[in-house]
Structure 1
Amino acid sequence: MAEISSITVRTQTTILNIEDGRSSGDPRSPDSPCSLICISFVQKLIGEFVGTFSLVFAGCSATVVNDTYGELVTLPGIALAWGLTVMVMSYSIGHVSGAHFNPAVSIALASSRKFPFKQVPGYIAAQLLGSTLAAEALRLMFHLNNNVCSLKGDVYVGTHPSGSNTATFVVEFIATFNLLRANRSFAGVAIGATVVLNILFSGPISGASMNPARSLAPAYIWGCYKDLWLYIVSPVIGALTGAWIYNILRSTNKSYGEIIRPNCNKVSSNDHQEASQDDSDSCVLRVVDPNNRKFFILSSPTDINETCNVTCKLA
């Protein structure tokens, strides 16, 4: 399922370096040192592996339980299992790897310059490994060995078209397109809810993959490769289209510092107290310069808490 990457939002409280238009805590700044914690690429890969494993294991387990025990879970329950897992993994691992858990998401984010291309192969490898081990664990746990590909024996946790290939291609495209346009302001909640919605309308038609790794892993474990190309090509195209259109609708070439700069008035430290009394919606941002501390007034009360700490949300 998703990612989430795009998806995801990095929410961090930081000190802004307004003069050069970059956040001192923004890991995407090429010349920005690691002030508190440096997340290595290996840590990111481990995060993607753990997140994808948990996602596929939990979501597909719901499918197996539903088909094995008299449809106790039902389609809405399966959708919730996937969506809630995405939400939990996004909040628990998102700050480490970005919570993609989906090759289509990694490719789409890289194509829109929100993720480095050089890390895409490693991410995809970690995602495929996590999903494959999850599928193998399910096979061993539930003894799913009998006539799986024919859909007449044990439960197949992979995806297969229930209708025509054209209908499957279209719904997979739309579902993944929606996934890449989920509002990043509430990260896990937005993406998780989008996953639930996508499964409710596309599950009966295509199986609601939205994720090449989610479909490739069961296909490899059980050797069921029929129509697999639909679940690779369509999600990738849908993710690319969603990311590009989302960028057209909301993107800007300005950094966060450049965006808020027109709303900031430079004041001295002596004027800070007086300015704060005059404007209850103002807050002080300190430029990162230990030798020459300067203060700025932020005119908007957005994301300012009672102690005047500013939370910067970087999409």
Structure 2
Amino acid sequence: MKKYIAEFIGTFILVFFGTGSVIVNEQFNNQLGLLGIAFTFGIIIMAIIYSLGNISGAHINPAVTITLLIGKLIDKKEALFYIIAQFIGALFASELLHLIFPNNLGLGSTNPSGSILQTIIIEIVSTFVLILTIFGVAQNETKTLAGLIVGLVVTGLILFAGPISGGSFNPARSFAPALISNNISHVWIYLTAPLVGSILALLLWNIITKEKEASR
């Protein structure tokens, strides 16, 4: 049960402060800017990994959990409850932000600024990089730096992807504000593209690790 509570809390914190930074930026004359939003997400992710990672692994992202499920690194029941906890945490955060900022129309939801194709490709490739990074830091001597590395990678990815796709890489992060603000026309992109990217990362990781083992 502790794991599911940790995933709920972690995803709540991510969405509250992450999408909250987008709202604050809109409400207060672009004071944060893209750099401030990107670093807010990155720093919050670092904090979540270091505070809750030893309890649940700090997935805080259905794409991560589904990837681990496909890779048989987590069982079906646990994965299901992780995902439920993540979406509920995200929805609670977006509902609270709606209460605080009732006049904000988007609540930090992600929408394509470029074309649909650009957004899909960027979300796939960015999630691919994120998941590959997570696999990498979890398997070697950099494990103790996982929070720092993953946080910085997310920061960099948002700086690149933010102006075009909104920089999501996380179905729960995009679904919650889209649902609460009733901006659901493009939410399908952010529910599907990260899953494609994460599965591609898993496939590549399996190929790389098998070749490494074979060469020993």
In structure 2, how many angstroms separate the alpha carbons of the residues matched to 1:215 and 1:224? 10
1:244 and 2:203 are equivalent in the alignment:
yes
Match of 2:96 among 125, 130, 137: 137
Aligned residue among 5, 8, 22 for 1:63: 22
What is the CA–CA distance in structure 1 between the aligned matches of 2:149 and 2:203, rounded to whole Å?
19
Q: Does 1:83 align with 2:83?
A: no
Deviations 1:44-93 (A, max 9, x none): 00000000000000111111111111111111111000011111100110
In the other structure, the counterpart of 1:180 is 131
Of the structure 1 ranges 165-174 and 221-230, higher mean CA displacement relative to structure 2 is found in 221-230
**What do the CA deviations read for 1:253-274 (whole angstroms, capped 9, x no partner)?**
98xxxxxxxxxxxxxxxxxxxx
Verify the 8 A CA contact 1:175 1:210 in the aligned structure 2: yes
Match of 2:110 in 1: 159
**1:104 pairs with 54, 57, 63, which one?**
63
Is contact 1:52-1:131 (8 Å) kept?
yes
More helix by share: 2
Q: Residues 247-298 of structure 1: CA distance to partner in whole angstroms, max 9, x if unpaired?
A: 32235898xxxxxxxxxxxxxxxxxxxxxxxxxxxxxxxxxxxxxxxxxxxx
Note if contact 1:177-1:238 (Cα within 8 Å) is conserved in structure 2: yes
How far, CA to CA, are the matches of 1:253 and 1:45 in structure 2? 34
Percent identity, aligned pairs only, is 40
Cα distance, 1:165 vs structure 2: 0.6
Count of aligned pairs:
206
Give the 3 Å change call, closer, same or farther, for CA 233–111 of structure 1 in structure 2.
same
- Structure 1 distance, partners of 2:123, 2:178, is 17
Task: Give the Cα–Cα distance (whole angstroms) in 2 for the partners of residues 105 and 228 of structure 1.
Answer: 18
**Structure 1 pair 241–51 and aligned structure 2 pair: CA distance change class (3 A):** same
* Whole-angstrom distance in 1 between the partners of 2:210 and 2:30: 44
Structure 1 unaligned blocks of 5 or more? 1-41, 149-154, 255-315
Superposed counterparts of 1:164-313, under 5 Å: 164-182=115-133, 183-184=136-137, 185=142, 186-250=145-209
CA distance in structure 2 between the aligned counterparts of 1:102 and 1:123, rounded to whole angstroms: 9
SS of alignment partner, residue 187 of structure 2: coil
Normalized against structure 2, the TM-score is what? 0.90
1:244 deviates by: 2.1
Deviations 1:101-156 (A, max 9, x none): 011110011111222222111011000000000001111111235xx2xxxxxx54
The one-letter code sitting in structure 2 at the alignment partner of 1:168 is T
Query: Partners in 1 of 2:160 and 2:94 — Cα distance?
Result: 24
> Which of the residues 76, 86, 99 maps onto 1:117?
76
CA RMSD of aligned residues (A): 1.8
How far apart are the structure 1 equivalents of 2:167 and 2:125?
A: 10
- Call closer, same or farther: CA 1:90–1:52 in 2, change over 3 Å: same
Q: Is contact 1:178-1:242 (8 Å) kept?
A: yes
Contact 1:103–1:211 (CA under 8 A) maintained in structure 2: yes
Q: Which has the larger radius of gyration?
A: 1
Give me the TM-score of the superposition, normalised by structure 1: 0.63
